[in-house]
C-alpha cells in the first residue's frame, strides 16, 4: 500500500460548518459596517482566524488596533461556538462515517489537519471524539495553510514520513499546503477547480478506490 495514513481537513471534508463561520463573521462585519458576502467568506476557507479577519478588514476604511482585532476575533469565535452547539451526530453523513470505518479496517492511520481551534469540540459534537489517531489543528501551529505546518505536524504525531500520508482537502490553500509538504493530495469540493491535487474526488467514498 502506497499510503500508511490519511490526513483530513475538517470543515468541508468531514463535516460542514461553513454556514456557521459565515453567520459569525457576518455578525462582526455588520457590527463594523463592513460589506461581507459568500464570495468573501470563501476566501477565508483554510486560513487562520486572524488572517480571515484581516481579509474582512480589506473593506474597512477605519483604523483598528491589534487589541481590537483580538477582541473581535474572540467575539467571532464565541458566536461561532454558540452556533456549533447546534451540531450533532446527524451532521456526520453515513457516507463519511462508513468510509472512515472501512479505511480503519484496511489498516490506515487516520488524522485531522485543520486550521480550526475548535476541532476537538466539533468532533465531539458529531460523534467522532477519540476516533482519530492524531489531531493537528489551530492550537498547535503558528502558520496556517497554505503553509504545510499543520499537515507536517499531523505526520509527526503519527510518527510517519510525510510521503506516507495522503491529504484530503476541499480548499485550494490546503492542496497548496500538501504540495509544499511534499504530500500527495485528494481534492474534493472547491479544491477540485485548482487542478493541483494528485487525485480528484467526486464523492468522499472514492477515497476507497485510491486506497486499495
Pairing relation of β-strands 165-169 and 184-187? parallel
- Flag whether pLDDT at 29 surpasses 90: yes
Instruction: Mark which of 29, 56, 84 sits at the end of a domain.
Output: 84
Identify the CATH number of the domain in which residue 65 sits.
1.10.150.240
Q: What is the pLDDT of residue 42?
A: 86
DSSP state of 204: G
11, 137, 147, 170: the catalytic one is 11
Kindly state whether residues 127 and 205 are assigned to the same domain.
yes
Q: Count the Cβ atoms, other than its own, within 10 Å of residue 21.
A: 21
Structural domains of the chain, count: 2
- Of the candidates 78, 36, 38, the residue with the CA atom closest to the CA atom of residue 57: 36
Q: Quote the percentage of the chain above a pLDDT of 90.
A: 89
Kindly state whether residues 31 and 79 are assigned to the same domain.
yes
Instruction: Mark which of 36, 57, 84 sits at the end of a domain.
Output: 84
Q: What is the pLDDT of residue 3?
A: 97
Kindly state whether residues 50 and 95 are assigned to the same domain.
no
Q: What is the pLDDT of residue 165?
A: 98
Kindly state whether residues 35 and 112 are assigned to the same domain.
no
Map 100-114 to HEC letters: HHHHHHCCCEEEEEC
pLDDT single digits (tens) 175-209 = 999 999 999 999 999 899 889 999 999 999 999 99
Kindly state whether residues 96 and 107 are assigned to the same domain.
yes
Q: What is the pLDDT of residue 194?
A: 87
- Flag whether pLDDT at 18 surpasses 90: no
Burial tier of 195 (Cβ tally within 10 Å: 0-12, 13-18, 19+)? exposed
Question: Do 50 and 69 contact (CB within 8 A), yes or no?
Answer: yes
Average pLDDT along the chain: 95
Return the bridge partners of 134, or none: 111
Kindly state whether residues 186 and 163 are assigned to the same domain.
yes
User: CA–CA separation, 109 vs 6, rounded Å?
Assistant: 6
DSSP for 62-108, please give it: S---HHHHHHHHHHHHHHHHHHHTT--GGGS-HHHHHHHHHHHHTT-
Q: What is the pLDDT of residue 48?
A: 83
What are the backbone angles phi and psi of residue 15, rounded to the nearest 5°?
-150, 175
Kindly state whether residues 154 and 52 are assigned to the same domain.
no
Kindly state whether residues 55 and 154 are assigned to the same domain.
no
The sign one gets for the Cα dihedral 157, 162, 165, 166 is positive
Kindly state whether residues 79 and 143 are assigned to the same domain.
no
User: CA–CA separation, 77 vs 117, rounded Å?
Assistant: 9
Angle at 38 between CA 185 and CA 202, to 5 degrees: 30
- Domain containing 122: what range? 5-15+88-210
Would residue 147 show up in a list of annotated catalytic residues for this protein?
no
Residue 132's pLDDT band, with cuts at 50, 70 and 90, is very high
Q: What is the pLDDT of residue 207?
A: 97
Question: Do 167 and 179 contact (CB within 8 A), yes or no?
Answer: no
Kindly state whether residues 180 and 92 are assigned to the same domain.
yes
Would residue 137 show up in a list of annotated catalytic residues for this protein?
no
- Look-up of cell digits 476537538: 120
pLDDT single digits (tens) 32-69 = 999 999 999 988 887 889 999 999 999 899 999 999 99
Kindly state whether residues 80 and 179 are assigned to the same domain.
no
Q: What is the pLDDT of residue 122?
A: 96
Question: Do 136 and 117 contact (CB within 8 A), yes or no?
Answer: no
Kindly state whether residues 56 and 76 are assigned to the same domain.
yes
Q: What is the pLDDT of residue 134?
A: 98
Q: Quote the percentage of the chain above a pLDDT of 70.
A: 100
Identify the CATH number of the domain in which residue 144 sits.
3.40.50.1000
Look at 38-52, 84-98, 158-172 and tell me which has the smallest mean pLDDT: 38-52
DSSP state of 135: E
Instruction: Mark which of 84, 103, 138 sits at the end of a domain.
Output: 84
**Cell numbers describing residue 125:** 459534537
Amino acid at each position: 500500500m502506497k499510503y500508511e495514513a490519511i490526513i483530513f481537513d475538517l470543515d468541508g471534508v468531514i463535516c460542514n460548518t461553513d454556514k456557521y463561520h459565515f453567520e459569525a463573521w457576518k455578525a462582526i462585519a455588520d457590527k463594523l459596517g463592513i460589506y461581507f458576502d459568500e464570495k468573501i467568506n470563501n476566501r477565508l476557507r483554510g486560513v487562520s482566524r486572524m488572517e480571515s479577519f484581516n481579509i474582512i478588514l480589506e473593506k474597512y476604511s477605519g483604523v483598528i488596533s491589534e487589541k481590537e482585532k483580538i477582541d473581535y476575533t474572540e467575539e467571532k469565535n464565541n458566536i461561532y461556538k454558540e452556533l456549533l452547539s447546534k451540531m450533532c451526530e446527524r451532521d456526520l453523513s453515513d457516507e463519511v462515517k462508513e468510509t472512515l470505518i472501512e479505511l480503519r479496517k484496511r489498516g490506515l492511520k487516520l488524522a485531522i489537519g485543520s486550521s480550526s481551534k475548535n476541532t476537538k469540540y466539533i468532533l465531539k459534537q458529531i460523534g467522532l471524539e477519540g476516533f482519530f489517531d492524531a489531531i493537528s489543528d489551530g492550537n498547535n501551529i503558528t502558520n496556517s495553510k497554505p503553509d504545510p505546518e499543520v499537515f507536517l505536524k499531523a505526520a509527526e504525531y503519527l510518527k510517519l514520513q510525510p510521503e506516507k500520508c495522503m491529504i484530503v482537502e476541499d480548499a485550494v490553500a490546503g492542496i497548496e499546503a500538501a504540495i509544499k509538504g511534499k504530500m500527495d493530495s485528494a481534492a474534493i469540493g472547491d479544491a477540485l477547480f485548482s487542478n493541483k491535487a494528485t487525485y480528484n474526488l467526486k464523492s468522499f467514498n472514492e477515497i476507497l478506490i485510491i486506497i486499495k
